Amino acid sequence: MLEWTIRLQTIDRRIIYGLVIGLIVLALLWDFPLPQAVSPEAQSLYETIESLPKNKLVVIAADWGAATRGECAPLTAAVVTHLFRNKRPFAIIGFAAQGPELTTAIVQKQAKEFGAKYGKDWCNWGYKVSIDSTLLSLAESIRRTIPQDVEGTKLDDVPLMKRVKGIDDVGLLVEFTGSGTLEAFLRRLPRSVKIAQGCTAVVGPEQYPYIDSGQLCGLLVGMKGAAEYEHLLGIRAQGTAAMRPQSLAHLLIIVLIILGNLGMYAAAKQGRDLKRKGEAAT
Amino acid sequence: MDRTQTAPAFLQEFFSKHLFVPLHGWAFVGALLGTLLVAGLLFFLLSALPPLARRRLMKTLAFVAGLFYAVEFFWPEKGNPLTGYLIPLGTFLRVMGCFAIGLGLISLCTVHGKAVGRRSEGWINSAAFFAAFFAIVVFGFWQQYGKQPVHPGAYTFAGGMFHILFIGMYNSLEPTMFSILAFFITSAAYRAFRVKSAEASLMLGAAFIVMLGQVPVGMILTSWIPPDSGFAFFRLEKLANWILTGVSSAAFRGILFGTVIGNLALSLRTWLSLEKGAYFDKPL
């Protein structure tokens, strides 16, 4: 029995990989219900959008690419649903090359469902390089920094931009990212623009200090953040569905850690017993 | 908010008429060739300067360039004599940023070109880079500037190929690589988390709470504690949130202060050209 327990600390990695893939597939196929709590940070973003004045523009900063699509796409989709549902006009900008394109695909899909139109309900400012200098210029003049949208239409000719004169007409900026780009927004945008973020789980812990300081008005972290926001919206989409495999994967990690430690203690016990026997024999 | 419109900056009117204007056709080609000529001339003059004079000149230029944003930050309220250049400078920096794409391309082609030319170990991977690179460039430009599909939503040959390469392959391969982390993290956590000391036990305890608190299944474990009771804090989701927003946040704030002070020191050293080996220290 002790021998078997000792073996628990050296489980073959292929068995571990097999268990991970097996549990993920099982959880994706088996739609079992799970409760969903909402963090104060997600609640805060939801309330900020709810209380946003109708004439204010929302800017979605799509600073993510295909690599982090797994987490960033459900986060973006959840917030876009809220914006379309509340008829809040928004513009997309991106400091990652693929971000605006991938976000546009999400928005176009939802625009069909909500009957939203490009130019009237949303527009795309496109990909920009050099985040700091772009934001610095944007804070001074939106039109001189971004003279036209991705389709080549002058911003003055985009209907929803007619009432947006400058940065003071931007009520909220929500950044979606898998990297540490938040500081540039906090540094360069005036305090009149509220800033919120949706980020991958691995970046999350770095962003919490900005919630405490009041510089972030909301934070959605990883797939859990998407699930929380979907719960607030009363929908079940990608984020909620992903909570099942994530739950089982977390449980698997915990079980494996416990087994590994049991194996380690068994090995230590065996070592002590052998030592004691050796001492008794001498 | 547009402070750049309130008063023109020093010589801004002259520059806005002669420099900050988009050019088209032959004027654009002429300006481009002229710029190359002036840049080449400047480079030649710089090379001809004695090393000490060159170093002093570069240090002065670096200091003056760095001063722009420093002045803008400390003297921003109603704008300063240079505020009008904020947007043109931002555009200039963005254009400069785009050059990084070309630089990266040259670097990649040099490294992989050498590998293919010398048939060094793994050269086939370098050949795959060239194949992938040329395929996406050719089909990308072809679908953008070639014949457009007749029916909306349909694809031309080039459009279809680009869709397969970009959406079908690249956009799937990147998340695939990222998702492999799930397997490695599980395996690494199993091997690394061993309770060998009090600190390790503390870390493991916090990790268990956060891992369980982050997922709904963790909530089920403490769902018997009423959410509005005095013990609600001990529900796993609340404990996990407290660890993240309290304990972990305080630690990250400390790290943040440290890195920001380090960055400040590094920026000052770069700005004042105190870094060794900076700005043409060696002969060109």
pLDDT digits (tens, 9 = 90+) for B177-194: 988 989 999 999 999 999
> What values do phi and psi take at B102, rounded to 5?
-65, -40
Q: Which residues contact B132 (CB under 8 A, 6 or more apart)?
A: B165
pLDDT digits (tens, 9 = 90+) for A100-145: 999 999 999 999 999 999 999 999 999 998 898 899 889 888 998 8
Domain boundary among B120, B139, B171: B120
In chain A, which segments carry CATH 3.40.50?
40-235
Which among A152, A151, A36, A259 is positioned nearest to B195, based on CA atoms? A259
Contact B131, B169 (CB under 8 A): no
Cβ-defined contact of B3 to A209 (cutoff 8 Å): no
Per-residue pLDDT, averaged over A185-204, amounts to: 93
Q: Which residues contact B162 (CB under 8 A, 6 or more apart)?
A: B136, B139, B140, B142, B143
* SS3 label, residue B48: helix
Alpha-carbon distances, residue A155 vs A123, A142, A145, A151, A152 (angstroms): 9, 9, 11, 10, 9
Per-residue pLDDT, averaged over A43-64, amounts to: 95
Cβ-defined contact of A16 to B177 (cutoff 8 Å): no
Cβ-defined contact of A211 to B89 (cutoff 8 Å): no
| Residue that is written with structure tokens 């004599």 in the block | B81
pTM of the model: 0.85
Half-sphere exposure (Cβ direction) of B236: Cα atoms closer than 13 Å: 22
Q: How confident is the model at residue B165 (pLDDT cuts 50, 70, 90)?
A: very high
The amino acid present at B113, given as its one-letter code, is G
Residue A51 distance to chain B (closest CA, Å): 24
Query: Does B3 lie in the same domain as B111?
Result: yes
Whether B110 is in a domain gets the answer yes
Distance of CA A148 to the CA centre of its chain: 28
Query: Does B201 lie in the same domain as B106?
Result: no
Size of interface A-B (CB pairs under 8 A): 167
Q: Report pLDDT for B7.
A: 60
- N- to C-terminal Cα distance for chain A? 27
Cβ-defined contact of A66 to B1 (cutoff 8 Å): no
| Residue that is written with structure tokens 């176009």 in the block | A108
Domain boundary among B70, B101, B120: B120
> What values do phi and psi take at B21, rounded to 5?
-125, 135
Contact A239, A227 (CB under 8 A): yes
Contact A155, A205 (CB under 8 A): no
The proportion of chain A whose per-residue pLDDT surpasses 90, expressed as a percent, equals 76
Whether B269 is in a domain gets the answer no
Q: Report pLDDT for B21.
A: 79
**Structural domain span for residue B204:** 196-262
pLDDT digits (tens, 9 = 90+) for A79-88: 999 999 999 9
| Residue that is written with structure tokens 């962003």 in the block | A207
> What values do phi and psi take at B14, rounded to 5?
-65, -45
Half-sphere exposure (Cβ direction) of B124: Cα atoms closer than 13 Å: 0
Q: How confident is the model at residue B16 (pLDDT cuts 50, 70, 90)?
A: confident
Q: Report pLDDT for B101.
A: 84
Q: Report pLDDT for A43.
A: 97
Average pLDDT of every residue of chain B: 86
Residue A140 distance to chain B (closest CA, Å): 5
Q: Which of residues 34-73 of A touch B (CB under 8 A)?
A: 34-37, 39-41, 65-70
Residue B280 distance to chain A (closest CA, Å): 25
Per-residue pLDDT, averaged over B260-264, amounts to: 94
Per-residue pLDDT, averaged over B122-139, amounts to: 94
Q: Report pLDDT for B18.
A: 76
| Alpha-carbon span B192 to B140, nearest angstrom | 45
Per-residue pLDDT, averaged over B16-43, amounts to: 88
Whether B226 is in a domain gets the answer yes
Higher pLDDT, B219 or A216: A216
- A173, β-bridge pairs: A59, A195
Query: Does B204 lie in the same domain as B102?
Result: no
Query: How many domains, chain B?
Result: 2
CATH for A40-235 (3.40.50, 3.90.820, 3.30.450, 2.40.160) = 3.40.50
Alpha-carbon distances, residue A244 vs A155, A199, B151 (angstroms): 43, 20, 41
If you measure CA to CA, which chain B residue comes closest to A128? B94
Per-residue pLDDT, averaged over B85-109, amounts to: 86
Tell me if chain B has a CB within 8 Å of the CB of A238: no
Chain B positions touching A264 (Cβ under 8 A) are 194-196
Q: How confident is the model at residue B284 (pLDDT cuts 50, 70, 90)?
A: very low
CA dihedral A251, A254, A257, A262 (to 10 degrees): -100
- A118, β-bridge pairs: A122
Query: Does B203 lie in the same domain as B100?
Result: no
> Could you please report the per-residue DSSP string of A193-248?
SEEEEEE-TTTHHHHHHHHHTTS-SEEEEHHHHHHHHHHHHT---HHHHHHHHHHH
* SS3 label, residue A55: coil
Domain boundary among B120, B136, B170: B120
